[in-house]
Structure 1
Amino acid sequence: MSNPTIDKTGRPLFTDKQKDLIQKFAALGSLVILAIVFSVTSNAFFSVGNGMTIALQVTSIGLLGIGATCVIITGGIDLSVGSVLALAGVVAALAVKEWGMPVPIGMMLGILVGTLCGAINGLAVTQLKLPPFIATLGMMMVARGVALQITGARAVSGLGESFGQLGNGSLLRIESIADDGFPIVTFPGIPYPVLLMIVLAIVVATMLKRTVLGRHIYSVGSNSEAARLSGVHVSGVTLFTYVLSGALAGLTGCVLMSRLVTAQPNEGVMYELDAIAAAVIGGTSLIGGVGTISGTLIGAFVIGILRNGLNMNGVSAFTQQIIIGLVILVTVWIDQIRNRR
Structure 2
Amino acid sequence: MADITSGKPQEPIQSRQPPPGRGLSDRQKDIIQKFAALGSLVILAAVFATTSSAFLTVNNGMTIALQVTSIALLGIGATYVIITGGIDLSVGSVLALAGVVAALAVRDLGTPIWLGMLIGILTGSACGLINAFVITRLKLPPFIATLGMMLIARGVALQITGARAVSGLGEAFGVLGNGSLFRIESIDDQGFPVVSFPGIPYPVVLMIVIAIAAGFLLNRTVLGRHIYAIGSNADAARLSGVNVTRVTAFTYLVSGTLAGLTGCVLMSRLVTAQPNEGVAYELDAIASAVIGGTSLIGGVGTISGTFIGAFVIGILRNGLNMNGVSAFIQQIIIGLVILVTVWIDQIRNRR
TM class, shorter-chain normalised? over 0.9
Matched residues in 2 for 1:259 and 1:150: separation?
Answer: 21
Equivalent in the alignment of 2:341: 331
Q: Quick one: which amino acid aligns to residue 340 of structure 1?
A: R
Q: TM-score, normalised by structure 1?
A: 0.97
**Map of 2:9 onto structure 1:** none
Match of 1:31 in 2: 41
In 1, the alpha carbon distance for the partners of 2:39 and 2:124 equals: 35
Runs of 4+ residues over 6 Å off in structure 1: none
Aligned equivalent of 1:170:
180
Of 310-319 and 9-18, more deviation after overlay is shown by 9-18
The match for 1:70 is 80
Give the match for residue 245 of structure 1: 255
Gaps of 5+ in 1: 1-6
Structure 1 residue 10, shift from structure 2 partner: 8.8
Provide Cα deviations, 1:191-219, integer angstroms capped at 9, x if missing partner: 00000000000001000001000000000
Among candidates 36, 48, 51, match of residue 61 of structure 2 = 51
Per the TM alignment, residue 179 of structure 1 is displaced from its structure 2 partner at its CA by 1.9
Match runs of 1:131-146 below 5 Å: 131-146=141-156
Partner SS for 2:96: helix
Deviation at 1:9, TM superposition (A): 5.5
Give the Cα separation in 1 of the matches to 2:32 and 2:187: 49
1:8 & 1:164 partners in 2: Cα distance? 56
Aligned to 1:95: 105
1:210 paired with 2:192, answer: no
Among 262, 265, 281, the alignment partner of 2:275 is 265
Amino acid at match of 2:202: Y
1:326 deviates by: 0.2
Alpha-carbon separation, structure 2, partners of 1:126 and 1:8: 36
Cα distance in 2 for residues equivalent to 1:15 and 1:85: 36
What secondary structure sits across from 1:304 in the alignment?
Answer: helix
Q: Which moved more, 1:11-20 or 1:311-320?
A: 11-20
Q: Please give the secondary structure, in 2, of the residue aligned with 1:254.
A: helix
Residue 13 of structure 1, CA deviation: 2.8
SS of the counterpart of 1:291?
coil
Instruction: Give me the whole-angstrom Cα distance separating, in 2, the residues matched to 1:223 and 1:13.
Output: 20
Given the superposition, is the C-alpha separation of residues 175 and 330 from structure 1 closer, same or farther in structure 2, using an over 3 Å criterion? same
SS in 2 for 1:327: helix
Aligned AA (1:209): N
Distance 1:144 1:41 in 2: 39
Letter of the 1:269 counterpart:
V
Partners of 1:205 and 1:272 in 2: CA distance? 20
Deviation at 1:8, TM superposition (A): 9.9
Please say which structure displays the higher CA radius of gyration. Answer: 2
Counterparts of 1:225 and 1:80, CA distance in 2: 26
- 1:212 maps to amino acid: V
Q: Percent identity?
A: 79
Aligned length in residues: 335
Matched, 1:232 2:242: yes
Matched letter for residue 226 of structure 1: A
Q: Does 1:17 align with 2:24?
A: no
Which position in structure 2 is the counterpart of 1:153? 163
Partner Cα separation in structure 2 for residue 259 and residue 318 of structure 1 = 25
Partner of 2:276: helix, strand, or coil?
coil
Cα shift readout 1:251-277 (whole Å, capped 9, x = no counterpart): 000000000000000000000000000
2:193 matched to 1:183? yes
Between the aligned partners of 1:183 and 1:333, the Cα distance in structure 2 is 51
The one-letter code matched in structure 1 to 2:90 is S
> Secondary structure of 1:176's partner?
strand
Residue aligned with 1:286, SS: coil
Residues in 2 aligned to 1:321 and 1:70: alpha-carbon distance in whole angstroms = 26
